[in-house]
Amino acid sequence: MNSLMEYIIKSGISLAVFYFLYWLIFRNATHFNLNRIVLLSSLILSLVIPLFNLSIPSTMEASMPMLNITFNETTIPTQGIKHSLDIWQVITLIYFTGMVIVFARLIYQAIYLYAISKLSKTIRQDGLTLVLMNSEISPFSYFNKIYIPASKADDYSIQSIIEHEKSHKKQRHFVDLFIIEVVTIFQWFNPVVWLYERSIKEVHEYLADEAVLNNGYNKGKYQAILVNEAIGGPVFILTNQFNQSIIKKRIIMMKKMKTPRLAGLKSLLFVPMVAFLLMAFANSKSVSQVATGADEVVITGKVTNHITGKSISDVLVVLGTTNIGTVTDANGRYTLKVPADKASFLVFSYVGFKTEQVAIGNIRVIDIQLGENSVTTDSENENIRKSAIANKDNAKDTNSDVFISTEINPSYPGGYDALKKYLMSTIQYPEDAKKKGIEGKVYMQFTVSKNGKVKDVIVKRGVDAALDKEALRVVNSFGKWEPGIQGGKPVDAQITLPIEFKLQ
């Protein structure tokens, strides 16, 4: 799952949890201003909470198998390469299509209201603009404009209707509507967001009714006006309509006994709810990761594409200049146990992406984004060269003169495409493995000598005896490589090459 979809889902969960609490406790209360605050706060918190990336201790450890693999610059898929569309790409496409449709609908509504204003007679009154519409639809307000049917402009009841709509403007209800519509654009697929919209508009009507009655209008006459206004007509998204659809609820609320002030303390229940959501969305980490004086520490994290946010599998994650490492799984996640006294930095490497180094320190959860960069600039090479020279004594395998990481890594003549082409033309899928339907990725380790010769070939992690044997044969058939460069000189350097066997 990419980061955007993860955020959207967490935000949707927060919206649902907060709305359930509102529905359970506040929806029938007469603390209308408090209800308004609760609803708006719920919307805003639902957008903010998923952004927090807390870490909490857990007694559980990830059980990903540990691999002792070395620095790798190339990941090669071989037989049966499939270019299928990732499920999250499809979901992302559908999601953005929905966003565009909802946004377009809002633009259409705004243009439609603008057209009504231009085609209708307008009157200025108490700093507001009255738009006398030719159509017989229910009155509504939109920012500083009040839309009423021209046929009712002289009606005795129109003043109470105008007072109702003026209260929407004075209480800045349009701000609430703007917020809910922004959230709706991002959460259009979530039915809960439409419940928020309905509830916010209901609270607006209750507040406007309350304001009218507080200004001295007779309650009975005003309720009769509400009933008389119960006619059909379009409901506009960004407007506060003199809403006939909830007239019964509005009349009930006018007659209802006021909720005691102390009942407002129930809003404090949102505090533990916020804490619960923060903990639910936090990243868990093992107690062993935070224990002091331990012989080993566990590093976990996720690797994603800097541009698309999509997780990257098979990224090699290596501890500093050792041969301790692992690879990311299908979701881009990794777990690596390292000696506490060697927890210096991690190297993240994958073909077509810029290699990154991240200091460990006291960090135990390291998420990283790799930027696509098949060719480094001169300044980048210079920085790598200086760093490599400064650490060249540590860049060697402690048991040999073979370098684990080098200033310039060994490369196949012609680059990645040439190596891919060679592997695809050379590998022969073993018949026994094919009959048994065996697939998998064989990790081969070998050394490219300072003369470019391939030697010391071993299977670092195998899949099946037949597949392992074929991978050995192919790697041993390599011709000369371009050697690794350290301190300006060719050196023996170690490579780990994953070779994937996949049936058609």
The pLDDT assigned to 246 comes to 67
pLDDT value at 82 more than 50: no
Which domains are delineated in the chain? 3-53+85-276 (no CATH), 291-501 (2.60.40.1120)
Structure tokens at 281: 């969305």
pLDDT average, residue stretch 280-304: 64
Is the pTM higher than 0.85? Answer: no
Distance, in Å, from the CA atom of 60 to the CA atom of 63, rounded to the nearest integer, reads 9
pLDDT, one tens digit per residue, over 91-107 is: 888 989 999 999 998 89
| pLDDT number for residue 424 | 85
Average pLDDT over residues 146-161: 68
**pLDDT tens per residue across span 208-229:** 888 878 877 767 666 666 666 5
Asked if residues 131 and 120 have their Cβ atoms less than 8 Å apart, the reply is: yes
Whether residue 387 has pLDDT greater than 50 = no
What integer pLDDT is reported at residue 103 of this predicted model?
92
User: DSSP letters along 24-47, please?
Assistant: HHTTT-S-HHHHHHHHHHHHHHHH
Q: Which DSSP string corresponds to 370-427?
A: EPB-SS--HHHHHHHHHHHHHTTTTTB-TTSS-BSS-SB--B-TTHHHHHHHHHHHH-
Two tokens, residue 70: 């070395």
pLDDT of residue 134: 77
Q: What is the pLDDT of residue 71?
A: 30
Is the pLDDT higher at 48 or at 273? 48
Kindly indicate the confidence band of residue 72, based on its pLDDT and cuts at 50, 70 and 90: very low
Rounded CA separation 42/492 (Å): 60
pLDDT-based confidence at residue 31 (cuts at 50, 70, 90): confident
Q: What pLDDT score was predicted for residue 2? A: 59
Q: pLDDT digits over 227-250, tens only?
A: 665 544 444 444 455 444 566 677
Q: What is the pLDDT of residues 296-307, one digit of tens each?
A: 888 999 999 888
For residue 32, the model assigns a pLDDT of 83
Are residues 372 and 353 in contact, defined by beta-carbon separation less than 8 angstroms? yes
**Is residue 51 a contact partner of residue 8, using CB atoms and an 8 Å limit?**
no
How confident is the prediction for the chain on average, in pLDDT? 75
Average pLDDT over residues 475-497: 86
pLDDT at position 142: 73
Q: Taking 80 as the threshold, does the pLDDT of residue 182 lie above it? A: yes
Orientation angle between helical segments 3-25 and 270-280, nearest 10 degrees: 160
pLDDT band at 476 (very low <50, low <70, confident <90, very high): very high
